[in-house]
Structure 1
Amino acid sequence: MGLLGRLRELLRREGEPALSLDDPDLVVVVEAFDIAEADSAALARSPQWRADEPAVLRHHLRIPSDQVERARELLAPDGWVLVAGEVTQVSRVQELDALHCAQERSRMASLAQRLGGDALGWDALQPRPAAAR
């Protein structure tokens, strides 16, 4: 986990439940697969996104199979979890706002390009609201 992740853990309020990547209540609340659309616009058009709650940010990358382990090595120190496949998914729990989305989208596009691949877009997941469970 990177420095920012460790700081978030330290600042987490005591007793606040941590969001897990494998939480069965996670649902997609926003998608951004159009490179011409600003991340702020993607978030603004999503009525399900709750800005005051943590989210799982998940990037979708096409990476050559011989570069997947290199991508995993580069991303793991910052808490990213990589699931390889035809479309590789890279996820982590983080604050979800336009600035963080734009920074991470740029980072993933750069990484994919360096490894001979392509960044397809991102989506974000949050647990279903308690009333909907």
Structure 2
Amino acid sequence: MSLLDRVRDLLRKPSEPPLTPDTPGLEVVAEAFDLAEADSAVLARSHLWDKGKPAVLGHHLTLSSVGVAEAARILAQDGWELRTVPGSGEIVSVHAVRVQKVDALHCAQERARMAGLAQRLGGDSRGWDALQAVCSR
């Protein structure tokens, strides 16, 4: 590391801690549970969503109890974490969550992917939401 690199490191402001699905204070900034509504429309009507910041994208799925482990294995390959909603029975409610930059294209791609995965595993995709830390404006 050169002297210039060390000086730059000292002068940089400390960065915010990285966003995780468990970061306190996250709020829903956009949600899409109507299959007929385009993801671009969902994001366009959101006055809280900050397109310049990453968000926790969460897909709400129902799966057969035997499909949960398989879904977790498949989704983990792309950085998704599958969380089971307490109180589920034979049909299990789960949330697939990961931190990413949210835009209409990626939301639509992931919505289609989650719907296909849920269908293959005997379940359904209910919709998605995006959470970010919201500053008072």
Query: TM-score under structure 1 normalisation?
Result: 0.84
Give a deviation string over 1:34-61, Cα, whole Å, max 9, x none.
0000000000111010101000000000
Structure 2 residue 75 is the aligned partner of structure 1 residue 75:
yes
Report deviation, 1:15: 3.6
Give a deviation string over 1:4-31, Cα, whole Å, max 9, x none.
xxxxxxxxxx945311110111111111
- Residue of structure 1 equivalent to 2:8: none
Structure having the larger proportion of residues in strand:
2
- Residue of structure 2 equivalent to 1:109: 115
Distance 1:21 1:121 in 2: 17
The number of aligned residues is 118
Distance 2:35 2:95 in 1: 17
Distance 1:48 1:126 in 2: 9
Distance 2:46 2:72 in 1: 30
- Residue of structure 1 equivalent to 2:100: 94
- Residue of structure 1 equivalent to 2:25: 25
Identity level (%): 58
Determine which structure has more spread, i.e. the larger CA radius of gyration. 2
- Residue of structure 2 equivalent to 1:38: 38
Structure 2 residue 63 is the aligned partner of structure 1 residue 63:
yes
- Residue of structure 2 equivalent to 1:4: none
Q: Which AA in structure 2 matches 1:95?
A: K
> Tell me, which stretches of 5 or more residues in structure 2 are unaligned?
1-13
Q: Which runs of 4+ in 1 moved over 4 A?
A: none
> Tell me, which stretches of 5 or more residues in structure 1 are unaligned?
1-13
